[in-house]
Amino acid sequence: MDPRIFDQTDRDALLRRLQRDALIEGEEFELSSGGTSTIYVDVRRVSLQALGADLIGRGLWALGCEVEPDVGAFGGLTLGADPLVTSAALASRDDRTRPGVADSIIVRKATKEHGTGERVEAPAELSRDRPVIAVDDTMTTGNSTLEAVEQLRADGWTVRHALAVVDREAGARQTLAAADVELHSLYTLDGLVE
């Protein structure tokens, strides 16, 4: 990752913020994957903070540029990905080390029943010639991210990489690899729990 965008001090600050505000331990939590765990990571508790969003956005932008240098947008399934795609897009705008910016794409969980009836919301001028990186806050099995990837591809976008703020290392990498998508993360659950 480019240390001018997201350096070790930033990485440590985001880790501390996630450990303090997003990591919940002790009781039995039901995960979106259907499983249960005594450790729950609620990244929204950080991604909805101004400082947390800034750190996450710069981290995702730096990692995204490393794995997909011509990234045109960050996209993901609503609601978890909404603040992430926005903060990554804003980080791209503020990055003076690279030409161009990356925009945001939001994938609805169901087709919109009114207006244009879109399931994928993207800027009108965004070129489908540039790749999209799928993002999610916490990945367990990767099924939610896979749903977003499949919908983005059905809408004509190229998706080869996915980013997670936290990878629980519980099958997401394998799920996405089966769809020719490589998973990268800012942190793993083990690294978060320490």
Catalogue all structural domains in the chain, each as residue range(s) with its CATH number. Answer: 8-193 (3.40.50.2020)
Residues 117-171: tens digit of each pLDDT: 689 999 999 999 999 999 999 999 999 999 999 999 999 999 999 999 999 999 9
Q: Say whether pTM exceeds 0.85.
A: yes
Residues 107 and 135: beta-carbon distance below 8 Å = no
Residue (of 92, 94, 175, 190) closest to 136 by Cα position = 175
pLDDT tens for each residue of 73-86:
999 999 999 999 99
